[in-house]
């Protein structure tokens, strides 16, 4: 499956941001031993995405493997899916890893956001100068750190969770 270029926009709103893409493709490779899918695409104004997933199909409990990454230089197009936010700004990255087996999958991910700025009109709040990072490791441990300012205040959060001992 491939598309050389295209876009997604909110219907009926002339001012809505458009999410454009080019060189988008999904490839499937199926053999007797494994199934492999590859995803790729370029978001010219925003960033890029790519990923792979592999599933062993010849075993009783098929092994899984994979990774995915999404890099966005501009978060504004995401406001289409979060209508409570206005004037969303910033950049972000998401990466995920998949391992284990079909019966016992293991997932890890990392999320990062920088230069975060948004208004929440219904609450009359303007959030600015935000940044966050969060990582879930394959073993279940979790770390998060971030901050954001509004008015004269600033909120900072930092925490960890150990898979063995909890918070």
Residues 70-127 have pLDDT tens digits of 998 888 877 777 888 889 999 999 999 999 998 999 999 999 999 999 999 999 999 9
Phi first, then psi: give them for residue 76, nearest 5 degrees: -50, -40
pLDDT at 17 over 60: no
Q: How sure is the predictor about 10, in pLDDT bands with cuts at 50, 70 and 90?
A: low
Q: 73-82, 126-135, 145-154: which has the minimum mean pLDDT?
A: 73-82
> How far apart, in whole angstroms, are the C-alpha atoms of residue 92 and residue 116?
9
pLDDT at 12: 65
Q: Report the distance separating Cα 29 and Cα 35, nearest Å.
A: 6
pLDDT in the model for residue 13: 62
Chain-centroid distance, C-alpha 33: 30
Long-range pairs for 144-153: beta carbons < 8 A, 24 or more residues apart:
146/113, 148/116, 150/125, 150/126, 151/126
Report the length, in residues, of the chain. Answer: 167
pLDDT score at 18: 67
Give per-residue burial for 84-119: e unless 16+ CB within 10 Å, then b.
Answer: ebeebebbbbebbbbeeeeeeeeebbbbbbeebbbb
Helix, strand, coil percentages (3-state) for the chain, rounded to 5, are 5, 70, 30
Give the pLDDT score at 60: 86
pLDDT at position 7, please? 75
22 pLDDT higher than 90 = no
Helix/strand/coil for 82: coil
Q: What does residue 91 show for φ and ψ, rounded to 5 degrees?
A: -130, 160
pLDDT tens string 35-55: 999 999 888 877 888 999 999
Look at residue 167 and tell me whether its pLDDT is greater than 70.
no
Q: What is the largest CA-CA distance in the chain?
A: 62
* pLDDT at 149 (0 to 100): 94
pTM of the model: 0.74
């Amino acid at each position: 499956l491939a598309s050389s270029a295209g876009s997604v926009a909110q219907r009926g709103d002339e001012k809505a941001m458009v999410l454009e893409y080019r060189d988008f493709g999904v490839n499937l490779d199926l053999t007797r031993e494994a199934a492999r899918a590859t995803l790729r695409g370029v978001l010219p104004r925003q960033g890029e995405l790519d990923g792979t997933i592999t599933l062993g199909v010849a075993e009783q409990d098929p092994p899984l493997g994979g990774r995915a990454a999404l890099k966005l230089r501009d978060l504004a197009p995401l406001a289409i899916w979060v209508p409570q936010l206005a004037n969303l700004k910033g950049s972000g990255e998401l990466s995920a890893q998949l391992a284990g087996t079909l019966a016992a999958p293991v997932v890890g991910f990392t999320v990062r956001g920088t230069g975060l700025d948004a208004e929440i009109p219904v609450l009359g709040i303007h959030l600015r100068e935000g940044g966050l990072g969060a990582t879930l490791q394959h073993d279940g441990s979790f770390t998060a750190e971030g901050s954001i300012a509004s008015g004269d205040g600033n909120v900072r959060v930092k925490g960890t969770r150990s898979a063995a001992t909890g918070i």
